[in-house]
């Protein structure tokens, strides 16, 4: 949910709240790419009963994601770092890097994500702008 929150805050020129240091690295995969992977696995008899990672191999630090969204929306938002203890009401340890291994799904179905993070963000920003304007 970090992407829609960052987009909503940026479009409203509100502070973009980054939990922790912002150096945590994540991979974000566009939903239609995930759907294609799931359908491909459903249609592959040999895939039945196995576990597969589905996602993107395009990593980005959370702070860099905030910067990218602020830039793409033309926002005046500033970044604010919130300690995990404040955000979650208790101390928390977070993995600094989460990146899926896509080798199994690619080997089984040939699937790879097709939508870049930038392209996915453009779609999400446009959708949230439309919703904010009352156009759906």
One of 3.40.1710.10, 3.30.70.1050, 3.40.605.10, 3.40.50.720 is the CATH number of 2-132, namely 3.40.50.720
H or E stretch at 61: strand 59-61
Inter-residue contact 97 to 37 (CB < 8 Å): no
Output the six-digit token pair for 81.
Answer: 């770092």
Structure tokens at 86: 């404040």
Q: What angle do CA 132, 71, 10 make, to 5 degrees?
A: 35
Q: pLDDT tens digits, residue range 5-20?
A: 999 999 999 999 999 9
**pLDDT for position 135:** 63
The model's pTM: 0.91
pLDDT for 91 equals 84
| Residue among 57, 59, 78 at smallest CA distance from 67 | 78
pLDDT digits (tens, 9 = 90+) for 61-80: 999 999 999 999 999 999 99
């Amino acid at each position: 949910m970090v992407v829609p929150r960052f987009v909503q805050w940026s479009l409203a020129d509100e502070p973009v709240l980054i939990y922790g240091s912002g150096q945590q690295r994540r991979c974000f995969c566009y939903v239609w790419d995930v759907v294609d992977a799931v359908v491909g696995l459903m249609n592959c008899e040999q895939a039945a009963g196995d576990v597969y990672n589905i996602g993107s191999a395009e990593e980005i630090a959370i702070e860099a994601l905030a910067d990218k969204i602020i830039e793409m929306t033309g926002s005046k938002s500033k970044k604010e770092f919130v300690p995990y203890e404040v955000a979650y009401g208790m101390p928390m340890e977070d993995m600094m890097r989460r990146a899926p291994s896509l080798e199994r799904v690619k080997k089984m179905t040939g699937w790879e994500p097709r939508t870049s993070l930038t392209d996915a963000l453009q779609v999400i920003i446009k959708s949230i702008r439309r919703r904010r304007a009352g156009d759906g």
